[in-house]
Structure 1
Amino acid sequence: MTEKLIKNIEHSAPFKLLDLVAYEPGKVASLTLAQKPGVGLTILAFAEGEGVSTHAAPGDAMAYIMDGEAEITIDETRYRLKAGEGIVMPAGIPHAVQSITSFKMLLTVVKNS
């Protein structure tokens, strides 16, 4: 049997990304789907009022909003994103994430391994 590169979901079975992580009051819930030297794939569910403070990542981070509304700040510029929208936070550039409403996002981070 070969190593499963995507984990925490059943392979060869349909699923809904929105259903993989539930909102938890006062928390940011997450489910890691892949974490390898060059790529990370995580689903996050932010309760209203929750966020991630300013930081920089070693790779490009693409956030795709699946539900709700978020404010993502990249290098002091604020972007308001709704379900169905995404943005790339470039490697090494400070960014932060804040919920406007409860929201879920798919986060893909790609970096040199």
Structure 2
Amino acid sequence: MKSNTDNNEIEIEKAKSHIVVEIIQYVPNAILSKTIIKKTTGNITVSSLDAGEELEEKHSPFDTYVQIIDGSAELIIDKKIFTLKLGEGIIIPAHARHKFNANEQFKMICTTIKSGYED
């Protein structure tokens, strides 16, 4: 599995329209991620996974909203399997163990909220 994450934290250009599904392309045998916006209170990223790839199981201390913007994805949250199709979204609860499987290639947009937990 080849992974290429946009770690330089460069956001996409502000005040310029874009087509979200075109922000990132597919690369054979790879997982790509690009930062749309990154702030201390949360971030938005877009990712593409080629068929056969997977994102290893992990957990986050924050809620994350995921929406499929191309293809379909298998998401496992705390051992429960969800198949998300184009346009569908789900909230991954804070601290939940989760992983993604690309049974077919897909793109997703992820929004992580890092504030509001102090309430």
TM-score using structure 2 length: 0.84
Counterpart in the other structure of 1:72 = 75
User: What is the CA-CA distance between 1:89 and the residue it aligns to?
Assistant: 0.5
**Runs of 4+ in structure 1 displaced over 3 angstroms?**
none
Counterpart in the other structure of 1:109 = 112
User: What is the CA-CA distance between 1:34 and the residue it aligns to?
Assistant: 1.7
Q: Which runs of 5+ in 1 are unaligned?
A: 1-6
| Correspondences of 1:1-113 after superposition (within 5 Å) | 8-112=11-115
Percent of residue pairs identical: 31
C-alpha RMSD of the superposition: 1.7
Q: Which runs of 5+ in 2 are unaligned?
A: 1-9
TM-score using structure 1 length: 0.88
How many residues align? The count is 108
Distance 2:100 2:115 in 1: 23
User: What is the CA-CA distance between 1:68 and the residue it aligns to?
Assistant: 0.4
